[in-house]
Structure 1
C-alpha cells in the first residue's frame, strides 16, 4: 500500500461527518450519464484511481481495467462496489464526488445555499400524482424563517406550478426564488388557499443545536435536545461554538438534576465524530476514557499495515471525560428517529448500546455503518473533491449490524398536522414522555389525514452523508 497514506492515517484524529445535499430524489442517485471524453479529464481520472486504490474500503473490488475515457464523475462511479445493485444492502451507496472541493468542505460544516426549509413529501391522496410538502422545521434566521414559514405549513405549489410526482424534486430544490403556495387541512381534507410566501435561497450557516428543554413530571426531570447535525462550529471557524453550546446545555441538565434524556435525532443525517464523541461522553452510563466508543476497520492492505506497525490501537476511539456528563443519573436513553437519522446519529445509538438501554422511537434509521475520506489534490491543480468509503465502524461489543438501519423500539410517524417541536403533545415527544412516566393518557390522537409518504429532504441529505475521513481528520 501507499506508505505516505499510512504515515498520515496513523497520525490523525478521528471524526464522523456528513456530506452535502444532493438534488437526487432517490436515496442512492443513479450513476451519471457518461459525458464526452476529454484530455483534461485524464489527469483527474488518474488522481481518482490512485487514491481509490490506496484508501477505498473495497479496493480489492475495483475493476482491474476501468474505462479511463469516461468523464471524472462517471469514472468515479464506475469504480464503486456493486453500486447499482439495490438488492445488496452491503453495497457502496454512499461514496460520492464533487467538482468543487471547497463547496464540498463547506457543506460538511453546515454551510450551503438554502432557503432553510426541511420538508417531507406526501402524495396528496392515495393513487394521486399530486404531491404536497409538509414543513418539518425551519432554520432560525434563514430566508424561510424571515418569510414567515414555520413547522407544520403545507405547500402545494412552487412558483405557480402544482407539485406532482414528476416535478416536485426539481421544483423544491432548483429555483433560486421560491413562491410557496400554502394549503390548510379542513375536515380531514387538504384545501388550497390564496396565501403565498416568497423566499430566496442564500448561502447560510445552520446552527445544529435547535432546541433544548427540561420537563418536570413527578419525580422525573426530563431533558430534551433537538440536534440536527454534528458540527463543532461554523464553517471556517477555529472555535467549536456548537460543541460549546452542547456542553452548556448538559451543564444545565446536570445542575437541574435531569434523570431522563430524550435525544431528538430524527432530522440529523450525520456530522463530525469529534462532536459525536463529546455528546456520547455526556450521556453514557458507566463509561470512562478506557471504554471503546467505536472501532474502525479499513481495507485489507491498510489493516495489514496497521498490524505490522503495531498500531492497531489507533483504530479505536474511546470516550472523553466530560464534567458535564449526566450518565450517572440515567437508566436509559430515548432517541427519536426517522429515515433520515444517519451516520454519526446512528453511531450514537450503536456506540452507547453496550453501556445502557437505548430506546428508539419513530422510524427505521438510514443504515450507515461505513465511513469515507475527504480527498483533495494537495497540489491544488485538480479542483475536484471526493468522498470514497474507507472504513466500517464497530462498537465495544464488535457490533456493526445496522446496514439496513435500526428498527425502532416503538414505531411512530409524523402526522400531517404536527405540533411545534418541544410541545408535550408533539407525537414523538409525547410518546417518549408517556414511556418515561408510564402515563399513556399523555398520548394525543394523531391529527390529519394519513397520506402515502414519498420521502423527505432529510432522507435526501442522509443519502449524501456517511462516515468520512479527511487529510486532517476522519469523519463519519
Structure 2
C-alpha cells in the first residue's frame, strides 16, 4: 500500500513504515494476478478505513461488503447525509483508477482546458449555460480562442438544458463543438459562433498569472494560484517545478520592493500540503522553520503508533525558512475567495493569521478543516484508490473551527456572466483589493451582478475530487 496526503495543501508520497505494517502486509498477501471481486476490494477498503479513517470509531458495525465498491465506500462515511452536521464527512472519496487519482492530484487529466460555472439561462429553469471562468494557457480551449467570460450555450449543435447538460459537457467523446451566446442588457442570445475543441491529457500549471502594480504609492504583488501542485507529474512521481516557480515569483516581488500582496485563490480547491507550506513560508511575517504552520489531530490508532515510533512533534508542520520570503516588507495579505476556495487554500488563510493580518475578499469559502491521504494497492492487483479523511488541522494558536468556511472580510460577488480578464484592475475582486490597499477605486463598485437562479454546479467539481483535496505528503515518511 502507498499513501498520499490530501487536504488542501500537500504533496503525497509515502511508503510503508511502522504503523503502516498491517495494511502493507495485507497487500503482499494477495497474489497479484486475476480479477478482483467487489468483496475483495471492499475488504481492502474496510481494513484501511479501520486504520486511517479519522472517524474509525464510528464505522458501521456490519457493513454490506456485497455492494459495489463505490457505494460500499460511501456507506462507511461518518454522518455523510446529515446536512445539519457541519462536522460530518463531506470530503472523502473513492476513484476506480488509483493511477488517475494520483495524476489528477498533480494537475494532470484529460481536458479541454476550459473551466466553467453552470447557470439556468431563464426563469423557467429549462435552458442552461456554461459561463467560462478561466481557460488553461496552452490547452486546446486556449488554442481555439476560448477565453474567460465566454458563454457556452450549445454543445455539438444541441442547446444545453437541465436534462442534458451533464451528458453533453461530460460525454464519452473527446471532441466538442461549442456554440456560444452573448449577453445584452441582461438577456442571453445565441450568436451562432462555434468552436471545436478536442480534449487531451494535459498538465496544468497552477500559476495562472503573476504581476505587480504601482498604485497610490504602493507596490502590489498579485498572483493567481489555482491548485497546490508541487510540480509536473510523470512516471508516477511529481517534481518541484511549480514550487520553484512560486519561489522565483516571490523572488521577483522581493526585488521589486512589493509591500502589499494580493493572493488570488478564488478557484483553488486544494492540493498538496507541502505546496501550501511552501507558499505560506513565502508570505508569513517573522516566520522561519522554528514557527508552527499547522498541527494535526489523527485518530487514536494512528496517534498511538506514531507517538511510539516517531516521538513528539510528528503531528506538527513548521514553516520553511525561505530566502525569497517577503514577510519583512508586508504586514498583511489580501486573499480573494469564493465558494470554490477550499482545503489547502483555507490552510494558508488559517495558518498565516497568527502571524499577520489576512483580509479575505469575495464570498465564503468551503470550510475544509480536515485532511486526507491517498491509499492504493502497491501490488497493482486492486485498481481502486481511496482518499479518506484522516485528520483535522489547527493553526499555531490552536484554531480549527472553520468547518462553516471563512466569511469574507469584504464581500464581493463575482459576476455570473461577462467576467473581465484576470489582471484587469477593474475586475471586481481585484479592484476591491486595490481599493482596500490604496484607497483608490479603479472602477465603480456596482451592486451584485449575480443572476437570480442558483449556480447549478461547476467543472471544478470534477477536479481531483472537487474540493475534497487536502493532501499531506510528509507525515508518514517522517519529513517535517
Fold conserved between structures, TM > 0.5? yes
| Cα drift, residue 90 of structure 1 | 0.8
Partner of 1:242: 242
Q: Match of 1:294?
A: 294
Counterpart CA distance in 2 for 1:191 and 1:474 is: 57
Q: Partners of 1:272 and 1:13 in 2: how far apart? A: 6
Q: Give the SS at the match of 1:312.
A: coil
**1:109 alignment partner in structure 2:** 106
- Asked if 1 retains the 8 angstrom alpha-carbon contact of 2:9 and 2:345, the reply is no
Q: Structure 1 residues 447, 294: CA separation in 2 closer, same or farther (over 3 Å shift)?
A: closer
CA contact 1:371–1:468 (8 Å) conserved in 2: yes
Counterpart of 2:20? none
Deviations 1:44-97 (A, max 9, x none): 112111111011100000112111122222211111111122221111111111
Deviations 1:391-449 (A, max 9, x none): 11111011111112111111112212211000111111001001111124644546977
Give deviations 1:262-304, integer Å, cap 9, x for gaps: 0000011111111111110110011121111000110122223
Q: Is the 8 A contact 2:272 2:472 kept in 1?
A: no
Q: CA deviation at 1:463?
A: 3.4
Q: Structure 1 residue 61 and structure 2 residue 58: aligned? A: yes
Per-residue deviation at 1:460?
5.0
Counterparts of 2:85 and 2:105 in 1: how far apart (Å)? Answer: 27
Change beyond 3 A, Cα 1:164–1:13? closer
Write out aligned runs for 1:37-436 (5 A).
40-174=37-171, 175-236=173-234, 239-308=239-308, 311-415=311-415, 416-436=417-437
CA RMSD across the alignment: 2.6
Q: Which moved more, 1:165-174 or 1:397-406?
A: 165-174
Q: CA, structure 1 residues 188+13, in 2 after alignment: closer, same or farther (shift >3 Å)?
A: closer
2:470 corresponds in structure 1 to 467
* Cα distance in 2, alignment partners of residues 100 and 233 from structure 1: 21
Report the Cα distance in structure 2 between the residues aligned to 1:128 and 1:396, rounded to whole angstroms.
Answer: 47
Structure 1: stretches of 5+ with no match in the other structure: 20-37
Distance in 1 separating the partners of 2:74 and 2:300: 21
User: For residues 5-30 of structure 1, what are the alpha-carbon distances to aligned partners after superposition, in whole Å with 9 as ceiling and x for unaligned?
Assistant: 9xx99xx99993499xxxxxxxxxxx
CA contact 1:334–1:360 (8 Å) conserved in 2 = yes
Deviation at 1:355, TM superposition (A): 0.8
Q: Distance in 1 between matches of 2:348 and 2:70?
A: 32
The alpha-carbon deviation at position 108 of structure 1 amounts to 0.7
Q: In the TM superposition, what is the alpha-carbon distance from 1:306 to its structure 2 partner?
A: 3.6
Are 1:369 and 1:392, in contact at CA under 8 Å, matched by a contact in 2?
yes
Give the deviation of 1:370 after TM superposition: 0.9
CA distance in 2, matches of 1:170, 1:474: 45
257-266 or 44-53: bigger deviation: 44-53
Corresponding residue number in structure 2 for 1:22: none
Tell me: higher relative CO, structure 1 or 2? Use CA pairs within 8 A at least 6 residues apart: 2
- C-alpha deviation, 1:128, in angstroms: 2.7
Whole-angstrom CA distance in 2 between matches of 1:464 and 1:186: 33
Determine if contact 2:365/2:406 at 8 Å carries over to the other structure. Answer: yes
CA offset at residue 469 of structure 1?
4.6
Q: Which whole-Å CA distance do the structure 2 matches of 1:289 and 1:161 have between them?
A: 56
In the alignment, the residues of structure 2 paired with residue 434 and residue 323 of structure 1 have an alpha-carbon distance, to the nearest angstrom, of: 30
User: Structure 1 residues 296-305 or 60-69, which shifts more?
Assistant: 296-305
- Aligned residue for 1:438? 439
Larger CA deviation: 294-303 vs 464-473: 464-473
> Alpha carbons of 1:450 and 1:238: their partners in 2 closer, same or farther (altered >3 Å)?
closer
Indicate conservation of the 8 Å contact 1:430/1:443, yes or no. Answer: no
Partner of 1:23: none
Distance 1:13 1:121, change over 3 A: closer
Question: Aligned pairs, how many?
Answer: 450
Give the equivalent residue in structure 1 for 2:9.
16
1:14·1:474 contact (CA, 8 Å) conserved in 2?
no
Q: Displacement of 1:259 after TM fit?
A: 0.3
- Give TM-score scaled by structure 1 length: 0.89
